[in-house]
Every structure is written in structure tokens, then in C-alpha cells.
Structure 1
């Protein structure tokens, strides 16, 4: 197999890697905020359930969670899982990362001085207005470095979906390496991942600079 053919096949696989990455972020970032609200809910049952969920998501490997999401419908309900693979991947990745984002959001919100809540109350702000206009913008600024680290980790974690035989870049690299008995595809995959992570880190740094007016 020529280098050009190898590169084209891995580029096609990289498209699937990007799809998993983008869709996971679209679902997990807002879901993490909902999980945070459940985590700090005054209803003890909800708070307790969400704490267990966060503990399980953070305390077990993502690969194991992907396998459970994929095979559980078949073993529990004899469901045909032939076209279910991408759904299982997005469920597993999104729910896992939402748990991490929820804890990051919690640390960012709890770092905001209580005096700002009191000042907002004196100005006549409701709880919703206080959160949206005062707390949320500052929280985004405070947690951006931690969120960036998780986003970079997500780029690398997309390779775990090979455990479900989903054809993305790492799976393509493994197939080519096995068929051609060469490590070149792994080096190419490494370059792809590095460039992708570099672009993500650069984009997040630009976004962080745009929020400098919150200092």
C-alpha cells in the first residue's frame, strides 16, 4: 500500500474521530451544567442519585462504560444493536464527560465570593438573573483552563471507540498496521492527534484571551 493511499484512508477515519469529538462536546458541556444543578439540589434524593452517577462515571474506565452501553440493550432486551454503535459511543462519551464537567463547573461556581450574590440581591436581581448575568460569565472564565484539559483528553479518548469496532482513525491505523506489518500508520495517527490537540489548545487559548475583561 502506498503512503498516499494510507494517508487517504486515515484521513477518512479522522473525519469520524472529529464527529465523535464534536458531538460529545455538544452534548456533554450543557449536560454537565444540568448534572451540577442536580449535584447541589436541595432535594436530597436527587443530590444523592447524581453524586452516585458522578462517582460511577469518574471511578470506572470509559472503555468499560462504552462496552456496557453497547452490549447492555442486547443482553437485557435482545435488542438488535446493528445500527446502534454510534449512539452507544455518544451516550458513553457524553455521560462520562458530563460528570467531569459538572465537577469543574462546581469548583468554578463555588470560587465566586458570596458578596457578589448579596450585591446582586440588593440590586433586585432574581436568582436566575444573578446566575446568568453575574455567576455564569465568571464561572466560564474560571473553569476554562480545566475545561481545556478535559477537551484535550477527549481528543485522545476518541481512540477508545475501537473497542466497539467503530471505524475511526485509530481503528484504521490498527487495520493497516496489521495488514502491512508496519508501524507507520501509528506514527501518522500520532501526528494527526498532535495537530488536532494543538488546534484545540490554540482555539481555547484564544477564547480565554477574549474573556480577559473579566479580570
Structure 2
């Protein structure tokens, strides 16, 4: 345990930055992914085309290249300067949003078509049909695959280690400089990730049980 207690500030910063990357990326991915997922099933051809282009482009691009763009391309655009942690949050959010959009699109397909048609028949526009009728049911049906996406997001936070973000993926190099055994550090990092994944699995089961009863 000395490898942790002797370096608590380092571990605390690494865990904090990992959680910032995860929660920040998750919020961006959920909001942007919902918009893109709705666009993918929109009756407007341009919206569908834009959604398809976004998903196919970003999802087929390695996450490392997305990070490279925000680390080296973003500063050249003349936009407000952000530190690497915030840029990592944006990169993870934009990348993960494509998977959220596809999972949500599959959930939209499980909602009976008659419900959307009935909502349109009483005069609701497409936006209200999606937000009031379709999306609430779609989210309930995709809890397990959606949580798998967020678990993948949690593990993808380690990519930020290659871009000078002090998170759990980078702590091995930092601790090696302190003279600690690299294998012990990696085992503790793995244990922390396992604990976080188990916590997400518990959240998944809780949501499934709650929404199953609600339906």
C-alpha cells in the first residue's frame, strides 16, 4: 500500500483528472450523441446526411488522431486557448458521441412506429415527437449497450496520457521516476479501473430495475 500512501497527491490528481475526463466526456457525448442520433432518423434529408457523415467520419478515425487534432490542430484555429485536460474532454466527448448516436438510433428502432404516427397525428412537430414520445422509451431500451459505451469511454481516458494529461494512464511513468516498481503501479491502476467499472455496472443494474418497473 506504500506505493499509494507515500504518493497520495500524485494518485489524487491522477484519479481526479480521470474522473474529469470521464464525466466531462460523457456529458458531451450524451448531449451531442442524442442530437446526432435524432438527426439520423430525421425526415429531413440534410439532417440525415449530416448525421451520417459525422458518425462515419469520426467513428472510423482512431481516437489517437482525434487527440492529435485537438493537441496540435486546435491551437492553430485561433480559438480560445484551453489546457490539455479540457481538450481531452472535448476529444473524448466528440469521439464517443458517435457510439452514443448509433446505440440510441437502435433504441429508436424499438419504439413502435404507431406511437410516433399518433403523436404526429395530433399535431406534434418532429422535435416534440422525439423528446416527448420516442427518446424516453429509446433510452430505457438501450441501458446495457449505452453503459458499455461509457465503460469504453472510461478506459479510453488513458489515451490522454500520451498528451501530457496527468491521469491514471500516465501515472506509471511518473511513479517510475519516483523509484517505484512499475508492475505494482500498473496493478493498482488496473484495480482502480476495475472498481470504477463495477460501479458503472451497478448503476446499469439500478437503472434497468427502476425503468423496468416504470414501464
* Residue 10 of structure 1 pairs with residue 11 of structure 2: yes
Q: Which residue of 1 aligns with 2:197?
A: 197
Partner SS, residue 112 of structure 1 = coil
- After TM superposition, the structure 1 = structure 2 runs for residues 60-75 of structure 1, keeping only pairs within 5 Å, are 60-74=61-75
Q: Which runs of 5+ in 2 are unaligned?
A: none
Deviation at 1:5, TM superposition (A): 1.4
Q: Which residue of 2 aligns with 1:51?
A: 52
Deviation >6 Å, runs of 4+: none
Q: Which moved more, 1:131-140 or 1:40-49?
A: 40-49
1:37–1:119 CA distance, 2 compared to 1 (3 A): closer
Contact 1:24–1:90 (Cα < 8 Å) also in 2:
yes
* Superposed CA offset, 1:83-112 (max 9, x none): 531232122111111111111111101121
Q: Which residue of 1 aligns with 2:116?
A: 117
2: CA distance between counterparts of 1:7 and 1:51?
45
Q: Which residue of 2 aligns with 1:185?
A: 185
Q: Which moved more, 1:178-187 or 1:104-113?
A: 178-187
Q: Which residue of 1 aligns with 2:144?
A: 145
2: CA distance between counterparts of 1:214 and 1:117?
20
Q: Which residue of 1 aligns with 2:212?
A: 212
Q: Give TM-score, length-normalised by structure 1.
A: 0.87
* Residue 131 of structure 1 pairs with residue 156 of structure 2: no
2: CA distance between counterparts of 1:87 and 1:15?
13
Over the aligned positions, Cα root-mean-square deviation in angstroms equals 2.4
1:129–1:155 CA distance, 2 compared to 1 (3 A): same
2: CA distance between counterparts of 1:159 and 1:203?
22
2: CA distance between counterparts of 1:72 and 1:193?
30
Partner SS, residue 6 of structure 2 = helix
2: CA distance between counterparts of 1:43 and 1:117?
16
1: CA distance between counterparts of 2:43 and 2:123?
21
1:140–1:77 CA distance, 2 compared to 1 (3 A): closer
Contact 2:140–2:211 (Cα < 8 Å) also in 1:
yes
Q: Give TM-score, length-normalised by structure 2.
A: 0.87
1:38–1:80 CA distance, 2 compared to 1 (3 A): closer
2: CA distance between counterparts of 1:117 and 1:55?
27
Q: Which runs of 5+ in 1 are unaligned?
A: none
